[in-house]
Amino acid sequence: MVQEKAHPIIFTGNGWQYFKIYFVNIMLSILTLGIYSAWAKVRNKRYFYGHTSVAGSSFDYHAQPMQILKGRLIVVAVLVIYQVAVGFTPLIAPIFSLLLLFAIPFLIMRATKFNMQYSSHRQIRFNFLGKYPYVFLYFIVLPILSVFTLGLAYPYAIYKQKQYLSNMSKYGNSEFSFGGSSGEFFLTYFLATVLLLGLYALLLSSFNLIDAQAIQDFSKGFKEGLKASMEHNTTSLYANEKEAASSQVLMIVAGVYGFFIFNILLFSAFVNTRLTNYLFNNLELKGIRFSSHISFFKLLWIYVSNLVLIISTLGLFIPWAKVRAVSYKLSCMSIFSDELGGFISQESEKANVLGEEFSDFLDIDIGF
């Protein structure tokens, strides 16, 4: 048997370089009234792909901006038609939602395929062979069914989704396979829930310790915030009062928001870390194994400090934040193989950009 070799995944992007690319993208997108945003998207993606390398070769992204622009124009046209239609006959809205339920799996399928087909390593393209009935089953039916189990079966739905996405993915003509079981998914969501509940308990007890009044102030602040946002929809008699009220409650509302956002970050960092590690450690590609050892605490620190820095720099930190997060995650990953040269490419059919653009717009997150 040949000696297996470890190839770390190396990310060579840096914040300042990406900062310049990011803001040139924004500026040109504005100057061209959004047309350049298609080119911007490709440059963004290519930057991250092109600065990620394994065994001396980097990844590449080959989508053509023109394709993406056409896709975007169609998406915008559909949304405008939808808006106008709903304006005239509001009944269309629920029908549209129902249609969307059936369209989402299709969009997920197309978007994944598009992204994979236009990604390459060593000039060999990736591919995705998912089929509609399965995507519909795992991404729509299972999550809906899990509602009836009070969410207890939700980890199983996620497990089936990840498994399907992995097993239907290809590099050249070789298939990925995910050998994990659902147990880890149940454990991860269970621990994440315990973590959140523990945090709430800690928060409540600390309120008791400091000042019982604090809880009242807290809930009062929340109601005031709600009130302020309700009044937002009406034109109040004097703007002054609104401003005063909003600056008064701003701190409290910011505190409440901050707490919720921290919870979301905590939950997603925890689930993300464990599932990504598990997925990669149990993934195989024709004798190649993967490994990932992302640390939850380090990732949480990166998320929280990124958020603080983004807010305090009014967004200027966004490019650094992206580079930081990607750079850390990739530095924890490596690939084990004896031979990376033996992959054969496959004749690929043209992928359609529409799914990708719709998913972009609807903010469908396809985690792989």
Span interacting with other proteins, options 25-33, 131-139, 187-195, 199-207, rule CB under 8 A: 25-33
Please report whether residue 296 would count as binding other proteins according to CB under 8 A: no
Question: Torsion-angle region of residue 56: left (phi > 0), alpha (psi -120 to 50) or beta?
Answer: left
Q: With respect to other proteins, which residue has the nearer C-beta, 43 or 274? A: 43
Coil, strand or helix at 16 = helix
Answer for which of 242, 289, 298, 324 binds other proteins (CB under 8 A) is 242
Answer for which of 7, 10, 15, 58 binds other proteins (CB under 8 A) is 58
Span interacting with other proteins, options 149-157, 177-185, 207-215, 241-249, rule CB under 8 A: 241-249
Please report whether residue 324 would count as binding other proteins according to CB under 8 A: no
Rounded Cα distance between 353 and 37, Å, is 15
Q: With respect to other proteins, which residue has the nearer C-beta, 171 or 280? A: 171
Coil, strand or helix at 288 = strand
Span interacting with other proteins, options 56-64, 137-145, 158-166, 182-190, rule CB under 8 A: 56-64
- Kindly identify the residues of this chain, within the stretch 126-145, that bind other proteins according to CB under 8 A: none
Please report whether residue 244 would count as binding other proteins according to CB under 8 A: yes
170: number of Cβ within 10 Å: 21
Span interacting with other proteins, options 96-104, 126-134, 194-202, 261-269, rule CB under 8 A: 261-269
**What would the two tokens of residue 345 be?**
């490419």
Rounded Cα distance between 160 and 185, Å, is 10
In the complex, the smallest distance separating the C-beta of residue 219 from other proteins, rounded to whole angstroms, is 13
Q: With respect to other proteins, which residue has the nearer C-beta, 58 or 281? A: 58
Span interacting with other proteins, options 53-61, 177-185, 194-202, 211-219, rule CB under 8 A: 53-61
Rounded Cα distance between 265 and 161, Å, is 22
In this structure, what DSSP letter does residue 338 have? S
In the complex, the smallest distance separating the C-beta of residue 141 from other proteins, rounded to whole angstroms, is 28
Question: Considering Cα of 233, then 238, then 244, then 245, what sign does the dihedral take?
Answer: negative
Query: Amino acid identity of 262?
Result: F
Span interacting with other proteins, options 120-128, 129-137, 289-297, 348-356, rule CB under 8 A: 120-128
Q: With respect to other proteins, which residue has the nearer C-beta, 67 or 163? A: 67
In this structure, what DSSP letter does residue 234 have? S
Please report whether residue 281 would count as binding other proteins according to CB under 8 A: no
Concatenating the DSSP letter of every residue in 140-208 gives IIHHHHHHHTTTTTHHHHHHHHHHHHHHTEEETTEEEEE---THHHHHHHHHHHHHHHHHHHHHHHHHH
Q: Between β-strands 283-285 and 119-121, what pairing exists: parallel, antiparallel or unpaired? A: unpaired
In the complex, the smallest distance separating the C-beta of residue 364 from other proteins, rounded to whole angstroms, is 12
Answer for which of 28, 92, 302, 364 binds other proteins (CB under 8 A) is 28
Please report whether residue 70 would count as binding other proteins according to CB under 8 A: no
Please report whether residue 236 would count as binding other proteins according to CB under 8 A: yes
Q: With respect to other proteins, which residue has the nearer C-beta, 140 or 298? A: 298
Please report whether residue 32 would count as binding other proteins according to CB under 8 A: no
In the complex, the smallest distance separating the C-beta of residue 21 from other proteins, rounded to whole angstroms, is 5
CB 164 within 8 A of CB 138: yes
Q: With respect to other proteins, which residue has the nearer C-beta, 42 or 351? A: 42
118: number of Cβ within 10 Å: 22
HEC string of 77-108 equals HHHHHHHHHHHHCCCHHHHHHHHHHHHHHHHH
